[in-house]
Structures are given as C-alpha cells and as structure tokens.
Amino acid sequence: MSLISFKDVVKKYDMNISVNHLSLSIEEGEIFGLLGPNGAGKSTSIHLLAGLLKADSGEITVEGISVDRQPREVKKRIGLVPQELAIYESLTARENVTFFARLYGLRGKLLRDRVSEALEFVGLGERGGNKPSGFSGGMKRRLNIACAITHRPKVIIMDEPTVGIDPQSRNHILESVRTLNKLGSTIIYTSHYMEEVEAISTRVGIVDRGRLIASGTKEELGRQSGQKEKLIIETDTIAEAAIREMHDHPRVEAVQKLENGTLELYLQDARTYVQDILFILGKHRMNLLKLQRDEPDLETLFLQLTGRTLRDGK
C-alpha cells in the first residue's frame, strides 16, 4: 500500500475544475517533486492532502487513513511548509515554534526539547529569542520549516520553500530536505526552480490542467516523453560496417559521423543499451577513446510533456 494515495480526486471552484480526476501514489521514503505550470492544480492538491480543502469527489489517504473521514488523524502525520509564510512577527522564533508544537499536543520537557531541536536543525538555535521581524527572508523561510517539523511528521509538504531567498539559505533548505528524508520523513516538494527538483527528488510527478500527465524518475519521464538521449563516442578509427550495424539497432534513432573519429548516436534509454554499442565497437576493432552520455534535463522533459514552461500559465 502506498503511503499517500489520490484516487480519482476532483475539486471544482464554481464551473472551473482545479483538480480533474487526479490519481497519484507516493511511496514511503520518497522525495517526490510535484511540478506543473501556474494554475495546474498543484497548490489545490496539496491543500486537499493537508485537509485545508475538501474534495468534491474521490479519495485521499495517508497510511490508509482517509483525509475526508479522519482529518485529525491525517493532520498528525503531516507537516506543512506553506508558500506564504505562516509565522507571527510579534512572537520570538522560539515562541513561534512552541505555538505550532502545542497544536500537535506537545507539552512539558518534550515540547521544550523538540522546539530547541527544530531551531538547531534550521540553523536558528542562537536566534530563538529574536523576533522574525528582524530576520532576513531566508531566515524566515527556515523558521517556517522549524514550525512544521517539531512533531516529527511522517509526511512533510514543502510548497515553494525557497522563493525569494539568498543562495546560502537555499542551500541550507535543500540540505535540510535531504536530512529530513534520511531521518524518515517522506517529502513532497514543489518549486518553480527546476534545478532544485532535479537535484533532490527521487521521483517527479507532472500535473497539468488538474491531471497527472507523467510520473517517474527522470529516466522514466524521458521514455514517457519520447525524448531521445545522445551518446558521444570518440574512437581511433571509423568502420562503416559498424555504423550500419548501429543504424540497424532497434533502439538507435540516428547515427551521425563527425570529424576526428567521433560519432553521435541518438537512442532511447542509452544507459540500458550502451553495452550493445560497445559490443559493436569491439566487434569492428574500433578502440574507444571517450564515451559521453547526454540526457535531457528536467526542464526539457517538462516542456516536451506539457508544451509549456514551468512559469507559463496559459
């Protein structure tokens, strides 16, 4: 059973469908990158999972528990880091984290220990007595994370956690995501920074117009999009018979011969079939000098699958 499951979920606003029969599964231990153009339904889906909105139809479960029927049990398992800062400027950093920890039932020494632990984790241990009104944008973002993790949630939802912050805070947050995942939390991560999602996600889901249109690792998304990978092969000699044999390989789309004994091959799933290419080279006594595999980046795959850039709302 998947840790998180969306089954045929629909959410409408008047006549507009924000989430359109969405079905999606997230496994325990994943860092799941959720991508989509503006208005694709990402934030609505997150709010439905967190119990902040109610679906019109379909079912969402966390550890088999229904968000609709047992919302309080689900909320105990979730930590939400919202896109809009959810902190109180008039309270100190420690008071902010304490307030949210109390909402999850933490009391006494456990409460104090967990608050200190959360502040230390986000690098604000020495700033607990300061009010966030004097913090930088990055420090406020980190405090936002501390408020969401004191109860050690099973699932942590991070909605655009690095918007408008400095590179140092961004790197701190990305490293925090990896650490939280290693400590046992499953992470759902949304961002307009494609390179962030590519760097930290174990799997990616792409939503468009309220539907899941693709999900998987970057390699799996490449196969779903039909995007070809490129192998650059440099050898000491070129055998025409080898080029013909490569052309005949069922996974090779094209072979281009360049200068200085270099070949460019376009193929599907290069990692799986590179041994076939190396066998052909050896068969025709072509000594390999260099092998380079160029795969499409996540932004290219996203554009291929949606026909839009990540920030395009049209």
227 — pLDDT class (breaks 50, 70, 90): low
| 92 or 217: which leads in pLDDT | 92
Taking the C-alpha atoms of residue 181 and residue 202, their distance in angstroms, rounded to an integer, is 11
- Residue 203 scores a pLDDT above 80: yes
Taking the C-alpha atoms of residue 144 and residue 156, their distance in angstroms, rounded to an integer, is 12
- What does the pLDDT read at residue 166? 85
- What does the pLDDT read at residue 312? 52
Question: Whole-number mean pLDDT of the chain?
Answer: 89
Token pair for 127:
């700033």
Short-list 91, 182, 101, CA closest to 129: 91
Of 12-21, 34-43, 303-312, the range with the lowest mean pLDDT is 303-312
- Give pLDDT tens digits for 92-137: 999 999 999 999 999 999 999 999 999 999 999 999 999 999 999 9
Taking the C-alpha atoms of residue 199 and residue 207, their distance in angstroms, rounded to an integer, is 19
| 132 or 223: which leads in pLDDT | 132
- Residue 204 scores a pLDDT above 60: yes
Of 19-23, 33-37, 157-161, 308-312, the range with the lowest mean pLDDT is 308-312
253 — pLDDT class (breaks 50, 70, 90): confident
Neighbour count for residue 286 (Cβ, 10 Å) = 20
Kindly state the percentage of the chain with pLDDT values over 90: 60
78 — pLDDT class (breaks 50, 70, 90): very high
Taking the C-alpha atoms of residue 97 and residue 99, their distance in angstroms, rounded to an integer, is 5
Taking the C-alpha atoms of residue 64 and residue 297, their distance in angstroms, rounded to an integer, is 35
Token pair for 272:
């799986």
**Cα 96 from chain centroid (whole Å):** 27
Q: DSSP letters along 74-130, please? A: HHHTEEEE-SS----TTS-HHHHHHHHHHHTT--HHHHHHHHHHHHHHTT-GGGTTS
**Contact in structure between 243 and 198 (CB atoms under 8 Å):** no
Helix H segments across the chain?
42-49, 71-76, 93-103, 108-121, 137-149, 167-182, 194-200, 218-225, 240-248, 270-283, 298-306
- What does the pLDDT read at residue 63? 96
Taking residues 233-245, what's their average pLDDT? 90
Token pair for 37:
């153009």
DSSP-assigned beta bridge partners for residue 265: 231, 255
Three-state SS at 211: strand
Please tell me the total number of residues recorded for the chain in this structure.
314
308 — pLDDT class (breaks 50, 70, 90): low
- Residue 192 scores a pLDDT above 60: yes
Taking the C-alpha atoms of residue 244 and residue 226, their distance in angstroms, rounded to an integer, is 23
Taking the C-alpha atoms of residue 217 and residue 64, their distance in angstroms, rounded to an integer, is 24
Taking the C-alpha atoms of residue 231 and residue 275, their distance in angstroms, rounded to an integer, is 12
**Contact in structure between 146 and 99 (CB atoms under 8 Å):** no
- Give pLDDT tens digits for 168-189: 888 989 999 999 999 999 999 9
- Residue 10 scores a pLDDT above 90: yes
- What does the pLDDT read at residue 80? 95
